[in-house]
């Protein structure tokens, strides 16, 4: 952001007092602040808000260096600047000042998935959206490696004329590196530099040095790349979820860090440039209030412009209440596994074959070597002892994976250990020549190793298995709701593939180090809600292409009400973080996203800008706090309501309160089917609750007709104070649509639930 000046126009202070303030401010420590302003009170003497903000700063500061960092004008009205505590106090007296808060660091959350999601080139959402052609997705991330083949523009058409963005040149990044696929690239690091003035930026351009942004953006809309793999694992043709969508990268961080003010600048510019969807796989730690969180503020402004923001839920699961980005006006995405597994095969000398887990990157076979099991070696805690072993060692330690570096630093030919904890493999890192096999085989393997006269084994790596069950299941790392910033809206909204996802990578960052050898690849396998978010973003882009008239709320509604709640065994989706118990909506939201069903949801729950303002008005926020989000002081708070038209329901009760709770929700559904339709309510009530629906039948005569219904939760009390859940489905009579919404009853003290 920047600034301007017409000294003394708005700060009526004695000149001698200003002078003393100036002198002390030069000596005092400065911090970066994000400042929200009421743009409507800008004096007419100024030609622009940028000039006005600069004038304000000039009037309260006397310094030889420019402290103005960014000017915001799309998703936020205001600026960021380096200020002393004293200067901040003077700023607060300026006309138009709303609020200010310190800049904060942020954190980033990581191709078979199109097949797993049943995307088909001949039917469904892909052809209906022309594979996302001309939909523009703005990615807020760590940058991009434009030479990766995922960003080639083969088969792409002319850039839409509505695009206002640019390809910004910088260090090792020429503007000619953008093309018909990667149509925009901008770099935002002024806020981070302001907070760390002595730092040397490792790459002062949009070029990605972390790999995160390259991975997420290629997942969203990467072009077709034949022969992609991770050292032979997951081999095939890589492509993004929306392979004909346009990508614009807004780099807001690197391995050195991310600043709140830079995220705001990136989102502000993305909206101004004309993107259709924003994807952001990062969050502010410790969940600041919604009026100080840049993703909250930026996504509200984007929503107002008709842009859906898709965000990651975070990787702090499986505890409840750990979720990030739980704002009502964006889409919050959790993570799950898919039906693909990477591994190796252990063949014992007696002919027994056992499939296990491994992603050891070396293409090799550990062939017909002695199988060793003894107490001296079974702990596998000494690289010296392991190096002396001339065979495949059995490690009787279920935590072997977590100290695999001991094995990697030895010269042992191979390792076998036993584990059923699939979560340990979610990182996709495996730097030792070993394989984990299910614990059910332990007795047979040990019996053979101990009792056979000459036990041997062979290990074959670089194997990929599909069709594994159960899938999908919620990943244990995926953060859970309720949302700490606003628990009255059920979050996350949905979940999507986020475990062991193959996507593009940067070529100069080693993926794995084994001994003194580094391994590099143009593709990497990562896990995290950083990986699930771009899947949902890509699907949102496809829906925007198929239904350009749909609002952000309509797109999110279609994805939620058509989400799958059953896995590939036909049973309720499980939660890995709770030992494969049935997943709660606090873990999976409405379910696992189903792109083709979302194309034709039957009914949608839509919401307007005023609906979200009514929600803000019900939150006990101050005038300035609401204005910080809405970017205006003239918002209408005449009808405050916490009951927004959302496709899910959550009722909270005080932990320890056994009195009956009754809560009624009003919902409006819009018929987006082909014509007349009738729907009947089908309710699965949460435990200890009674659900009432009025009316229980909805009749529509025309497309785009709306109907209102009421849902009442009557919770009878439960001395266990646990989370209970059920669902409401509007089932089309004689038709195909089943419009499903989750229902949750949860203690307010969810950390004890």
Residues with catalytic roles: 141, 212, 530
The conformational region for residue 236 under phi > 0 = left, psi -120 to 50 = alpha, else beta, is left
Q: How far apart are CA 430 and CA 515, in angstroms?
A: 13
Burial of 344 (0-12, 13-18, 19+ CB in 10 A): buried
Is residue 298 within 8 A of residue 76, CB to CB? The reply is: yes
Hey, how many other C-beta atoms are within 10 angstroms of the C-beta on 548? Answer: 12
Residue with tokens 């923001």: 309
Q: How far apart are CA 571 and CA 564, in angstroms?
A: 11
Q: Between vectors from CA 320 to CA 745 and to CA 220, what angle results, nearest 5°?
A: 105
Q: How far apart are CA 700 and CA 670, in angstroms?
A: 9
Hey, how many other C-beta atoms are within 10 angstroms of the C-beta on 40? Answer: 12
Q: Which two tokens stand for residue 174?
A: 């020429």
277-280 and 308-312 as β-strands: parallel, antiparallel, unpaired? Answer: parallel
Nearest to 531 by CA among 358, 334, 343: 334
Burial of 256 (0-12, 13-18, 19+ CB in 10 A): middle
| Phi/psi at 197 (5° precision) | -65, -20
Is residue 86 within 8 A of residue 278, CB to CB? The reply is: no
Hey, how many other C-beta atoms are within 10 angstroms of the C-beta on 347? Answer: 16
Beta bridge partners of residue 495, listed in sequence order: 334, 592
Is residue 148 within 8 A of residue 214, CB to CB? The reply is: yes
Hey, how many other C-beta atoms are within 10 angstroms of the C-beta on 578? Answer: 16
Nearest to 495 by CA among 544, 551, 560: 560
3-state secondary structure 99-148: EEEECCECEECCCCHHHHCCCECCECHHHHCHHHCCCEEEEEECCECCCC
Is residue 325 within 8 A of residue 140, CB to CB? The reply is: no
């Amino acid at each position: 952001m920047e600034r301007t000046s017409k000294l003394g126009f708005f700060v009526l202070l004695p000149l001698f007092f200003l002078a003393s303030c100036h002198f002390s401010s030069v000596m005092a420590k400065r911090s970066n602040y994000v400042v929200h302003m009421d743009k409507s009170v800008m004096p007419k003497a100024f030609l622009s808000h940028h000039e006005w903000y600069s004038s304000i700063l000039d009037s309260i500061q006397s310094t030889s260096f420019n402290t103005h960092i960014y000017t915001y004008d799309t998703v936020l009205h205001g600026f960021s600047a380096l200020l002393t505590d004293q200067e901040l106090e003077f700023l607060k007296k300026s006309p138009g000042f709303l609020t200010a808060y310190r800049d904060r660091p942020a954190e980033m959350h990581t191709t078979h998935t199109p097949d797993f999601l049943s995307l088909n080139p001949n039917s469904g959402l892909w052809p209906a959206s022309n594979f996302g052609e001309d939909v523009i997705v703005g990615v807020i991330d760590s940058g991009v490696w434009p030479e990766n083949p995922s960003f080639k523009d083969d088969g792409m058409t002319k850039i839409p004329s509505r695009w206002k963005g640019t390809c910004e040149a910088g260090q090792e990044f020429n503007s000619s590196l953008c093309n018909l696929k990667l149509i925009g690239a901008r770099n935002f690091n002024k806020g981070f530099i302001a907070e760390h003035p002595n730092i040397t930026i490792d790459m002062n351009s949009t070029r990605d040095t972390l790999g995160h942004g390259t991975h997420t953006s290629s997942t969203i809309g990467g072009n077709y790349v034949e022969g992609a793999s991770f050292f032979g694992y997951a081999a095939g043709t890589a492509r993004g979820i929306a392979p004909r969508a346009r990508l614009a990268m807004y780099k807001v961080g690197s391995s050195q860090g991310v600043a709140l003010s830079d995220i705001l600048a990136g989102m502000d510019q993305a909206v101004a440039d004309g993107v259709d969807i924003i994807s952001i796989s990062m969050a502010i730690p410790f969940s600041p209030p919604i009026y100080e969180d840049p993703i909250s503020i930026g996504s509200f402004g984007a929503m107002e412009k008709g842009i859906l923001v898709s965000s990651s839920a975070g990787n702090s699961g499986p505890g409840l209440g750990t979720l990030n980005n739980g704002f009502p006006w964006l889409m919050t995405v959790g993570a799950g596994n898919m039906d693909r597994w990477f591994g190796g095969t252990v063949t014992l000398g007696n002919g027994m074959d056992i499939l296990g887990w491994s992603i050891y990157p070396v293409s090799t076979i550990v062939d017909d070597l002695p199988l060793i099991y003894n107490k001296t070696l079974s702990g596998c805690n000494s690289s010296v002892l392991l190096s002396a072993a001339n065979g495949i060692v059995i490690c009787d330690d279920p935590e072997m994976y977590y100290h695999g570096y001991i094995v990697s630093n030895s010269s042992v030919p191979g390792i076998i250990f036993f584990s059923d904890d699939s979560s340990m493999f979610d990182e996709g890192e495996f730097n030792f020549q070993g394989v984990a096999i299910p614990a059910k085989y332990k007795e047979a393997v040990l019996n053979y190793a101990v009792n056979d006269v000459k036990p041997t084994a062979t290990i074959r790596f670089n194997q990929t298995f599909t069709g594994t069950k159960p899938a999908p299941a919620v990943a244990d790392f995926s953060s859970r709701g309720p949302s700490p910033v606003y628990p009255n809206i059920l979050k996350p909204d949905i979940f999507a593939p986020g475990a062991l996802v193959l996507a593009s990578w940067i070529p100069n960052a080693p993926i794995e180090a084994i001994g003194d050898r580094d391994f590099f690849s143009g593709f990497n396998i990562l896990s995290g809600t950083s990986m699930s978010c771009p899947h949902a973003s890509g699907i949102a882009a496809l829906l925007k292409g198929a239904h350009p008239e749909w609002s952000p709320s309509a797109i999110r509604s279609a994805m939620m009400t058509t989400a799958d709640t059953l896995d590939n065994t036909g049973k309720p989706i499980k939660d890995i973080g709770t030992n494969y118990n049935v997943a709660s909506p606090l873990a999976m939201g409405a379910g696992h996203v189903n792109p083709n069903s979302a194309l034709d949801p039957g009914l949608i729950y839509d919401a307007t800008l005023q609906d979200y303002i009514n929600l803000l008005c019900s939150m006990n926020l101050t005038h300035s706090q609401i204005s910080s989000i809405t970017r205006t002081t003239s918002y209408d708070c005449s009808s405050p309501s916490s009951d927004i038209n959302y496709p899910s329901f959550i009722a909270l009760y005080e932990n320890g309160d056994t009195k009956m709770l009754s809560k009624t929700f009003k919902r409006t559904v819009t018929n987006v089917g082909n014509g007349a339709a009738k729907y009947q309510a089908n309710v699965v009530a949460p435990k200890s609750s009674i659900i009432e629906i009025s009316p229980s039948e909805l009749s529509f005569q025309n497309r785009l007709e709306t109907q209102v219904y009421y849902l009442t939760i009557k919770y009878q009390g439960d001395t266990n104070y646990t989370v209970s859940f059920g669902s409401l489905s509007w089932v089309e009579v004689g038709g195909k649509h089943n419009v499903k919404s989750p229902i949750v009853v949860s203690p307010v003290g969810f950390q004890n639930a």
